[in-house]
Amino acid sequence: MMRKFSFVLALAALTAPAAAQTATQAAQCNSTNDAQAIIGCTMITTLNVAPNVKSAAFSNRARAYLHRGDTMRALGDLDQAIKLDPKNSRAFAYRGDYYTGRGEYGQALEDYTAATQANPKDFEAFGQRGNLHLVQGQPEAAIRDYDQALAVNPKFVTAFSNRGEAYRLLGQFDRAIQNYNQAIALAPTFAAAYDNRGVAYASRDEFDKALADFDKAAALDPGNVLVLQHRAFALEGKGDHAGAIGAFDKALSANPKDAAILVARGNAHQGQGNVDAAIADYSTALSLDERNAGAYANRGTALALKGEYGRAIADFGAGLRMAPQMTALYANRGLAYVKMKDYRAAIPDLDRAVGADPNDASSLYNRGVAKRETGDIAGGDADIAKARAINPNVGN
């Protein structure tokens, strides 16, 4: 949310008609209509008015330019606004938005901080700096800024919603939901708060509550593709593969080149047992994003289910090159090697899988089999015994 300056025009030096005209221009400059704002603010910048009034006009015109994507004109206006009035907190904050949009986070942080120093009551500046911290993956710092924003304005709806997001990223789902509840209480038609609360419920595996929130968000904002995706993920989490596929279909109709949605729909197809449809989705995803580790990993699993172990091994290897931290792929590739009776190739992968998770009963068992087949009977028996101590049914 971008807050405008509201002009206080005590222009004693102007004649009554001139003052009335300027008041009309001030109303235009404060308009949420960008075209009207630009016209009104431009007129004020040409008048002989106080520097702080002229500075506010430049700020509001910059806000309109930013909305239009005319960033260079916006930057010029913001520089001029700050030169005219170094206490113009909105100018600093809008310039922070400009730098955030360019990915120049260091400069953005300087400007947001300058805004809070110029006006400690500018709650939106604290909120904007909190948003920057979220973008940078710093939820604790974001929460501190949202706390300050809400201390100034306890009805700042987006601060509640965004603070909820920060708590969600920290895994503190109860506190996240409390913040979304407060946002919804203040703004019952705020679709994003319902959507965010739904994600928090889904993170706690409370899929029915999540779906109710996603339905509400979709009713309030029917064109929001992200809500469709979240609803589909909740259906998949609930085990409703058919419902999830339908929801992913709707999301893909709006955004057919979204590789992440294709991978998710592939997972739903695989959950249904439709391995060929899953492979088709993973392959399409990889044609759009050749570095999608999840698509390689899941296509490898689907290929292994079809008995195509050679192709599966290639996909697991590609996934590991893209994301070496996906240690489960060592377990999968090791099992594929065992299925191909390439036991010597299997053992190093299974060593890595067990090293990453010593309680991985399946990898212990498979390594035991591979060891026995390569002549290490004692080592193999020891692995199989450890595996069955963890899971008595492993290997059956």
pLDDT digits (tens, 9 = 90+) for 187-198: 999 999 999 999
The residue that leads in pLDDT, 225 or 156, is 156
* Predicted local confidence at residue 26, as pLDDT: 80
What gap in Å lies between CA 174 and CA 180, rounded to an integer?
10
pLDDT tops 90 at residue 20: no
Q: Quickly state the pLDDT bin for 79 (edges 50, 70, 90).
A: very high
Residue 141 has pLDDT above 70, yes or no: yes
CB atoms within 10 A of CB 84: 20
* Burial class of residue 232 in the structure, from the number of CB atoms within 10 Å of its CB (0-12 exposed, 13-18 middle, 19+ buried): buried
And the tokens for 182? 């407060």
Domains 257-326 and 330-396 share a fold: yes
Phi first, then psi: give them for residue 120, nearest 5 degrees.
-60, -10
| pLDDT attached to residue 177 | 98
What is the model's pLDDT at position 18?
44
Q: What is the dihedral of CA 141, 145, 147, 149, to 10 degrees?
A: -170
Alpha helices in 119-240 (DSSP H): 123-135, 139-152, 157-169, 173-186, 191-203, 207-220, 225-237
Whether 97 contacts 107, CB under 8 Å: no
Q: Is the pLDDT of residue 8 over 50?
A: no
User: What pLDDT shows up at residue 31?
Assistant: 84
Cβ-based neighbours of 17, under 8 Å, separated by 6 or more: none
pLDDT given for residue 183 in this prediction: 98
The per-residue pLDDT for range 91-132, each reduced to its tens digit, is: 999 999 999 999 999 999 999 999 999 999 999 999 999 999
| Predicted pLDDT at 22 | 65
CA diameter of the chain: 103
What average pLDDT does the segment 148-167 reach?
97
Helix (H, G, I), strand (E, B) or coil at 394: coil
Q: State what percent of residues in the chain have pLDDT above 90.
A: 86
List, for residues 377-390, the tens digit of each pLDDT value: 999 999 999 999 99
pLDDT band at 309 (very low <50, low <70, confident <90, very high): very high
Distance CA 288, CA 390 (A): 41
| pLDDT of the residue at 6 | 42
What number does CATH give the domain 257-326?
Answer: 1.25.40.10
pLDDT over 80 at 134, yes or no: yes
Which residue is it, tokens 């996240």? 176
In percent, the amount of the chain with pLDDT more than 70 equals 94
pLDDT in the model for residue 13: 33
Above 70 in pLDDT, residue 391? yes
Spell out the domain ranges in the chain: 257-326, 330-396
When pLDDT is averaged across residues 348-367 and rounded to a whole number, the result is 97
Phi-psi region of 46 (alpha: psi -120 to 50; beta: other; left: phi over 0): alpha
- Give Cβ neighbours of residue 126 (< 8 Å, ≥ 6 apart): 116, 145, 146, 148, 149, 152, 159
Mean pLDDT of 72-82: 94
In 236-362, the DSSP E strands lie at none
Whole-model pTM above 0.85? no
Q: Tell me the three-class secondary structure of 55-123, residue by residue.
A: HHHHHHHHHHHHHHCCHHHHHHHHHHHHHHCCCCHHHHHHHHHHHHHCCCHHHHHHHHHHHHHHCCCCH
Over the Cα atoms of the chain, what is R_g?
29
What is the fold of 330-396?
1.25.40
pLDDT of 176-188, one tens digit each?
999 999 999 999 9
pLDDT band at 21 (very low <50, low <70, confident <90, very high): low
